[in-house]
Structure 1
């Protein structure tokens, strides 16, 4: 799995852009700008600059398609989530996934469906030990 260099971790604004790219697969700056503006006002040049920075950081890749540049996330969403959670677990819970999970569950109520999915994951983990 690809590791995130600490200097290349996405900011909140960059994560918003990555979410658009994960949903769309590949998109132009205009596509990302339009998607972000569906929820909040964001300037086109701001999105463009952020995507240029993200290219330099290795968070996205860019290819030319005619006059447009098309961007794609350089890392799968699940890989990014896993890496960011590992980093959070290391910083806040000394690497204890159990403490991270227990704390997350204590923050909010979990639906019966969520609890069943957690139980199934625990059973799978027990089976692979």
Structure 2
């Protein structure tokens, strides 16, 4: 997987990456169809974005057949880690606890998510 220090996906690129992470791989048409459910965008815009993503090294492209198949080159986990790290530094002054308190304070956390968070906290305390 590529390092994300040089590669910073835009918001639109992150939307496409999310689709590719969920699917594993997809054609431009498949990505466009999924994107168009939540936002209005032309097919050529999706195609251009995915070509740029290929040039940036965010995705790989299998062009052995007429229909190109795209796959993510960067992992969801490394992307999340980089973006959260940047957010903690830029928005929360380096305070992880401020980020967590803000996220939990939104009130949108389910009981199951809170239990999972508690397990993570317990593991961190024990190490």
TM-score (norm 1): 0.87
2:10 aligns to what?
Answer: 11
How far residue 95 of structure 1 moved from its aligned partner, in angstroms, is 2.3
- Give the deviation of 1:48 after TM superposition: 0.6
Is the Cα contact below 8 Å between 2:25 and 2:70 reproduced in 1? yes
Give the 3-state SS of the residue equivalent to 2:40 in structure 1.
coil
Q: Secondary structure at the match of 2:68?
A: strand
User: 8 Å contact 2:4–2:78 — kept in the other structure?
Assistant: no
Indicate conservation of the 8 Å contact 2:20/2:72, yes or no.
yes
Q: Which runs of 5+ in 2 are unaligned?
A: none
Whether the 8 Å CA contact 1:22–1:73 is kept in 2: the answer is yes
Q: How many residues align?
A: 127
2:25 alignment counterpart: 26
Residue 2 of structure 1: CA displacement? 4.9
The aligned counterpart of 2:54 is 55
Change in 2 beyond 3 A, CA 1:91/1:3: farther
CA deviation digits over 1:27-74, x for unaligned, max 9?
111111111122233211100100011112221111223112111111
Looking at structure 2, the residues matched to 9 and 65 of structure 1 have their Cα atoms a distance apart, in angstroms, of: 28
